[in-house]
Chains A and B, each alone.
Chain A
Amino acid sequence: MTGTGTRRGLSFYLLAAFFGLFVLFLYGPIATITILSFQGPEGGLTFPMNGVSIHWFRNLFEQQAVGDFGGSFRRSIALGLTVMVLTVLFSLLAGFAFRRRFLGSGALFYLAVASLIVPSILVSLGIGLLFNILGIEPTWYGSALGAHLTWTLPFGLLIVFAIFNRFNPAYEEAARDLGATPWQTVRHVVLPILLPSLIGVGLFGFTLSYDEFARTLMTAGSFNTLPLEIYGMTTNVTTPVLYALGTLTTLFSFTVIGLFLAGVMILRRRRLRRTGAAA
Chain B
Amino acid sequence: MTVSAVPSEASSASAAPRGGGVRRSMLRRAAPYLQAGPLALTLLVFLLIPILTIVAVSFWDYDSIRIYPDFVLTNYEELLTSPVTWKTYLNTVKFAALTWGITLVIGFTVAYFLAFHVQSTTWQMVLFLVCTIPFWTSNIIRMISWIPFLGRNGLLNSGLISAGLIDQPLEFLLFSDFAVVLAFVHLYALFMVVPIFNSMMRIDRALVEAARDGGASAAQVVWNVILPLAKPGIAIGSIFVVTLVMGDFITVRLMSGGQSASIGLMIANEISLLQYPAAAANAVVLLAVVLIMVVAMLRIVDIRKEL
Q: Which A positions have Cβ atoms within 8 angstroms of B?
A: 1-2, 4, 6, 9, 11-12, 15-16, 18-19, 22-23, 25-30, 32-33, 36, 45-47, 86, 89-91, 93-94, 96-98, 100, 102-105, 108, 111-112, 114-123, 125-130, 132-133, 143, 146-147, 149-150, 153, 157-158, 161, 179, 181, 203, 207, 210-211, 213-214, 217-218, 227, 230-231, 234, 242-243, 245-246, 249-250, 253-254, 256-257, 261
Q: Cβ of B36 and Cβ of A93 under 8 Å apart? A: yes
Chain A residues closer than 8 Å to B39, beta-carbon distance: 90-91, 93-94, 108, 112, 153, 157
Of B3, B38, B151, B246, most A-chain CB atoms within 10 Å: B38
Stretch from B14-22, B74-82, B129-137, B225-233 at the A interface: B129-137
B47 contact from A11, A118, A133, Cβ within 8 A: A118
Q: Cβ of B294 and Cβ of A45 under 8 Å apart? A: no
Q: Cβ of B141 and Cβ of A249 under 8 Å apart? A: yes
CB B224 to nearest CB in A, in angstroms, measures 17
CB B102 to nearest CB in A, in angstroms, measures 11
Chain B residues closer than 8 Å to A203, beta-carbon distance: 136
Of B7, B106, B147, B248, most A-chain CB atoms within 10 Å: B147
Q: Cβ of B117 and Cβ of A12 under 8 Å apart? A: yes
A-B contact pairs, 15 of them (CB 8 A): A29-B142, A30-B134, A30-B141, A45-B147, A46-B153, A102-B33, A112-B43, A118-B47, A122-B286, A125-B283, A146-B46, A149-B46, A211-B137, A211-B140, A214-B249
Q: Which B positions have Cβ atoms within 8 angstroms of A?
A: 3, 5, 7, 31-33, 35-40, 42-51, 53-54, 57, 106, 109-110, 112-114, 117, 119-120, 123, 127, 129-131, 133-134, 136-142, 144-149, 151, 153-155, 158, 186, 189, 218, 239-240, 243, 246-250, 254, 264, 267-268, 271, 276, 279-280, 283, 286-287, 290-291, 294, 307
Q: Cβ of B148 and Cβ of A47 under 8 Å apart? A: yes
Q: Cβ of B218 and Cβ of A11 under 8 Å apart? A: yes
Q: Cβ of A129 and Cβ of B218 under 8 Å apart? A: no
Q: Cβ of A125 and Cβ of B279 under 8 Å apart? A: yes
Chain A facing B: main interface SS: helix
- Residue in chain B with minimal CB distance to A112: B43
A234 contact from B117, B127, B144, B279, Cβ within 8 A: B144
- Residue in chain B with minimal CB distance to A162: B307
How far, in angstroms, from A249 to B134 measured CA to CA in the complex? Answer: 12
Q: Cβ of A46 and Cβ of B151 under 8 Å apart? A: yes
How far, in angstroms, from A164 to B213 measured CA to CA in the complex? Answer: 37
Q: Cβ of B287 and Cβ of A122 under 8 Å apart? A: yes
Q: A18-B110, A211-B137 are in contact. Are A29 and B46 (CB under 8 A)?
A: no
CB A205 to nearest CB in B, in angstroms, measures 11
CB B9 to nearest CB in A, in angstroms, measures 13
What 9 pairs between A and B have smallest CB-CB spacing? A119-B247, A126-B50, A146-B46, A29-B145, A97-B35, A97-B36, A102-B32, A97-B32, A94-B39
